[in-house]
């Protein structure tokens, strides 16, 4: 809209400064808006800051006062949470499970979405509605039969079993989002690749998939968050103490803490779980904010 005639229009001779003046009303509205948004931001930040602060305190300091600063800033709670509470082990399990599931679901989801978006074949609508059903029905309906399916094929309480279930339940969201994305890519490019002699496989992996990178990135972020935070599925089908993932590990830690109380370590464990996702979010937040509407409007 705005024509950029010169870099500093106000320096141009005879230029009238047209910068909008703020009226008194604007200032009031802006003031109210800032106040409300700042209040909400405090609501968000204070519990998190308090958790961080408490993670450095000893249990007796925590009981003495919720506000006091720790006497010694030390990472003793973190060491204890990582080692004795097994958070380190859970962390490793989570990285393995979420990493594998993420790669597999992105590849399979992209392939499925690509086929649905580019080819007309009988039953494509049925596939589409099956995916919609998977997004709508509560996981709770499936959880009992799922338990026995995994038991029957010998994958109950194993990391591969958890990975494949993660893949299956992340698939409908992935396919939905990428479907719209592949639909929007110009089909002329795929046709050009095929005229140049590329087969179906090559067309997908060397031409179409690279073009879908922005869509893939934002779906991957959402899937990462969803899988990293998943709780119900591991609690139901992955109960071996050695194979636990972070979310169930920390819940179990809190449960056993109830009476034997090492709250300092509990807060430290919470920080350990939150920091990776928070860092990932801050790094990728631009990508995520642009895609959030496209991802949920379908």
The sign of the dihedral angle between the CA atoms of 210, 211, 214, 216 is: negative
**96 versus 164: smaller Cβ distance to other proteins:** 164
Q: Per rule CB under 8 A, is residue 132 in the interface with other proteins?
A: no
- Name residues contacting other proteins, limited to 154-173 (CB under 8 A): 164-165, 167-169, 171-172
- Name residues contacting other proteins, limited to 43-102 (CB under 8 A): 43-48, 50-51, 54, 62-67
Least separation in angstroms between residue 229's CB and other proteins is 4
- Name residues contacting other proteins, limited to 174-203 (CB under 8 A): 175, 179-180, 183, 187, 191, 199-201
**92 versus 274: smaller Cβ distance to other proteins:** 274
Least separation in angstroms between residue 191's CB and other proteins is 7
Give the span between the Cα atoms of 165 and 162, in whole angstroms: 5
* Residue in 143, 44, 47, 163 with CA at minimum distance from that of residue 99: 163
Size of the site for other proteins (CB under 8 A): 116
Judged by CB under 8 A, the residue of 95, 96, 100, 142 near other proteins is 142
Give the span between the Cα atoms of 97 and 214, in whole angstroms: 24
Cβ atoms of 263 and 257 within 8 Å: the answer is: yes
- Name residues contacting other proteins, limited to 232-251 (CB under 8 A): 232, 235-236, 246-248, 250-251
Which range, of 74-82, 85-93, 134-142, 211-219, touches other proteins by CB under 8 A?
134-142
Judged by CB under 8 A, the residue of 5, 120, 195, 260 near other proteins is 120
Kindly give, in sequence order, each residue whose CB lies less than 8 Å from that of residue 62, ignoring residues fewer than 6 positions away: 54, 263, 264, 267
Q: Per rule CB under 8 A, is residue 216 in the interface with other proteins?
A: no
The sign of the dihedral angle between the CA atoms of 281, 283, 284, 286 is: positive
Judged by CB under 8 A, the residue of 6, 11, 16, 293 near other proteins is 293
Judged by CB under 8 A, the residue of 148, 154, 192, 196 near other proteins is 148
Judged by CB under 8 A, the residue of 97, 106, 117, 219 near other proteins is 117
Give the span between the Cα atoms of 122 and 118, in whole angstroms: 13
DSSP 8-state code for residue 12:
S
Q: Please give, one letter per residue, the 3-state secondary structure of 188-209.
A: HHHHHHHHCCCCHHHHHHHHHH
Judged by CB under 8 A, the residue of 78, 114, 173, 177 near other proteins is 114
Which range, of 4-12, 74-82, 141-149, 210-218, touches other proteins by CB under 8 A?
141-149
Least separation in angstroms between residue 216's CB and other proteins is 15
Exposure pattern of 50-68 as b/e (b: 16+ CB <10 Å)?
eeebbbbbbbebbeeeeee
Please report how the helices 87-118 and 124-136 are oriented relative to each other, as an axis angle in degrees rounded to 10: 150
- Name residues contacting other proteins, limited to 13-32 (CB under 8 A): 18-23, 25-26, 29-30
Q: How far apart are the first and last CA of the chain?
A: 30
């Amino acid at each position: 809209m705005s024509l950029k005639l010169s870099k500093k229009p106000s320096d141009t001779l005879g230029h009238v400064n047209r910068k909008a003046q703020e009226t008194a009303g604007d200032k009031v509205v802006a003031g109210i808006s800032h106040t409300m948004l700042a209040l909400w931001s405090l609501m968000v930040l204070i519990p998190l800051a308090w958790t961080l602060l408490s993670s450095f305190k000893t249990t007796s300091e925590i009981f003495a006062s919720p506000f006091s600063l720790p006497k010694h800033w030390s990472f003793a709670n973190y060491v204890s949470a990582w080692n004795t509470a097994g958070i380190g082990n859970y962390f490793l399990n989570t990285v393995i499970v979420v990493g594998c599931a993420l790669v597999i679901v992105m590849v399979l989801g992209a392939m499925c979405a690509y086929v649905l978006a580019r080819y007309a074949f009988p039953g494509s609508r049925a596939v589409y509605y099956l995916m919609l059903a998977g997004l709508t029905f509560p996981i709770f309906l499936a959880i009992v039969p799922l338990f026995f399916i995994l038991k029957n094929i010998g994958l109950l309480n194993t990391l591969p079993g958890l990975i494949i279930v993660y893949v299956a339940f992340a698939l409908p969201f992935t396919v939905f989002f990428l479907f719209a994305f592949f639909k929007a890519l110009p089909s002329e490019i795929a046709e050009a690749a095929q005229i140049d002699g590329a087969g179906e496989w090559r067309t997908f992996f060397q031409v179409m998939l690279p073009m879908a990178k922005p869509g893939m990135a934002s779906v991957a972020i959402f899937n990462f968050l969803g899988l990293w935070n998943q709780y119900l599925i591991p609690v139901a089908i992955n109960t071996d103490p050695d194979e636990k993932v972070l979310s169930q590990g920390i819940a179990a830690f809190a449960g056993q803490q109830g009476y034997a109380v090492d709250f300092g370590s509990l807060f430290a464990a919470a920080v350990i779980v939150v920091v990776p996702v928070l860092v990932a979010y801050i790094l990728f937040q631009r990508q995520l904010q642009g895609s959030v509407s496209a991802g949920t409007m379908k």
